[in-house]
Amino acid sequence: MKYFCSRNSIKGKELSFSSGLFLNSLGSVFGFISKDAVSKIQILVNYMNGENASHYATVQSMVKYELDNNLVDVNKKGSHPESGCRTLLRLHRALRWLELFLDRLRTSTEDSKTSALCAEAYNESLAQHHPWMIRKAAGMAFLVLPGRQTFFEVMNVGPPEQVVAKLGEALPLISEVYQITEDLYAQHNMLDLP
């Protein structure tokens, strides 16, 4: 799925990576997070490969198609619990967490705790949309995140300076994608889809 934006070549999948694989490499505690992320991505991939694929070529065309054809549960859960709009919204909120977390990681020092950076980013973003049980489970998972050095190694980008440089390159792109979706969803009053 593409985003029409100032840099026409940006694709959602270019900015994402195999979140499932990455989370699994952090340990089985992250399984429930990975499962949810992968299943939501799969829902969108199925739309993109399905009989209405042409409508799912861009986020903008998906929003128009689903809204024009009443395929979105707008006020309360109904007959479209897995609409593309609703599914993307969950991932969009997670992207904000990722943006905040990676920015903290980029500006962190050797003795920074990834668990604290991750929890701060989560509390500022996704947590506001999660019920108590999920917040607790996420909080416990963060506690077993590896330290900064190991975390950088798992990212497999190179030495710390290179990781920091790559994060500096990636963050503006993440931020741009986030803002495009945020504006589009705000324009259609879809930031609180059930």
Ligand X SMILES: CCCCCCCC/C=C\CCCCCCCC(=O)N[C@@H](COP(=O)(O)O)[C@H](O)/C=C/CCCCCCCCCCCCC
Min dist. Cβ of residue 96 to ligand X (A): 10
Helices 132-143/114-124 angle, 10° precision:
160
Does 36 interact with ligand X (rule: CB under 6 A)? yes
Residues 66, 124: Cα–Cα separation, whole Å? 30
Does 118 interact with ligand X (rule: CB under 6 A)? yes
How many residues of this chain bind ligand X (CB under 6 A)? 19
Nearest to ligand X of 70, 150 (CB atom): 150
Does 190 interact with ligand X (rule: CB under 6 A)? no
Does 185 interact with ligand X (rule: CB under 6 A)? no
Give one DSSP letter per residue of the chain, joined into a string.
-B--SSSTT-BHHHH---HHHHHHHT-GGGHHHHHHHHHHHHHHHHHHHSTTGGGGSBHHHHHHHHHHTT-S--SS--S-TT-HHHHHHHHHHHHHHHHHHHHHHHT--TT--HHHHHHHHHHHTGGGGS-HHHHHHHHHHHHTPPPHHHHHHHHTSSSHHHHHHHHHHHHHHHHHHHHHHHHHHHHTT-TT--
Q: Which stretch binds ligand X (CB under 6 A): 16-24, 42-50, 59-67, 183-191?
A: 16-24
Does 23 interact with ligand X (rule: CB under 6 A)? yes
Q: Which residue is nearest to ligand X (CB)?
A: 19
Residues between 80 and 109 with contacts to ligand X, criterion CB under 6 A: 90, 93-94, 97-98
Does 5 interact with ligand X (rule: CB under 6 A)? no
Residues between 121 and 180 with contacts to ligand X, criterion CB under 6 A: 122, 126, 134, 138, 155
Min dist. Cβ of residue 18 to ligand X (A): 9
Does 22 interact with ligand X (rule: CB under 6 A)? yes
Instruction: Give Cα 112 distance to the centre of its chain.
Output: 23
What residue ranges bind ligand X (CB under 6 A)?
19, 22-23, 26, 32-33, 36-37, 90, 93-94, 97-98, 118, 122, 126, 134, 138, 155
